[in-house]
Homo-oligomer: A and B are copies of this chain.
Amino acid sequence: MAPPTPTRQRKRGHDPESVLAIAVDVFNERGYDGTSMEDLARALGVTKSAIYYHVPGKEQLLARALDRALDGLFAVVGDERAASGPAIDRLEWAVRQSVRILVDRLPYVTLLLRVRGNSSTEQAALERRREFDGFISHLVKEAAAEGSIRPDVEPALVTRLLFGTVNSITEWYQPARGASADDLADALLKMTFSGLRV
């Protein structure tokens, strides 16, 4: 006889995954440095020491969260669809996919974009992020060289402004109430590629 609850747990409680998810939410609400382990414990409904049963410590929580964001972004620039075809199309595709990652992994990317390099963990994340920016920057330069982008704005400036717009999504997007990732990307690409003015 199979038990009535096939996936029944010995005890209901937390695991490293749920601790990470909740911790990242608190980090984003109060900032990483502004969050104490006591704050996390309160959000998890346990005592401080229980957290250390699931995860090694505060900085490891940050490291895991940042990796989750960066792995998503690198999957975009590592995709073959970012490697062949007209540069302007590849750029548009990269923007669209970046918006998707940003929405899918919103709390993790939000945390990443606020990192300032206060520890070796943060510095390593900044380094990976700079590498991602390098890919995008190269894509914009190619599109400019192919004559697909207006020549009266420097490619470096275009890169900053374009991905500044993308990244700013983390500042206000609410998955529950807002548009889908595709709707967001559509609106963003309309504004930045075709312009707001009628």
Contacts and interface: CB of A to CB of B under 8 A. Distances in A.
Contact of A171 (B158, B164, B192, B193): B164
A116 interface: yes
26 contacts: A30-B116, A30-B118, A31-B118, A33-B33, A148-B198, A149-B196, A149-B197, A150-B198, A152-B190, A153-B190, A153-B196, A154-B187, A157-B184, A158-B187, A158-B191, A161-B188, A161-B191, A162-B191, A162-B196, A164-B171, A191-B195, A192-B192, A192-B195, A193-B196, A194-B195, A194-B197
Contact of A198 (B29, B33, B147, B157): B147
A169 interface: yes
Contacts of A31: 31, 33, 116, 118
Interface residues of A, number: 42
Interface of A: 29-31, 33-34, 88, 114, 116, 118, 147-154, 157-158, 160-162, 164-165, 167-169, 171-172, 179, 184, 187-188, 190-198
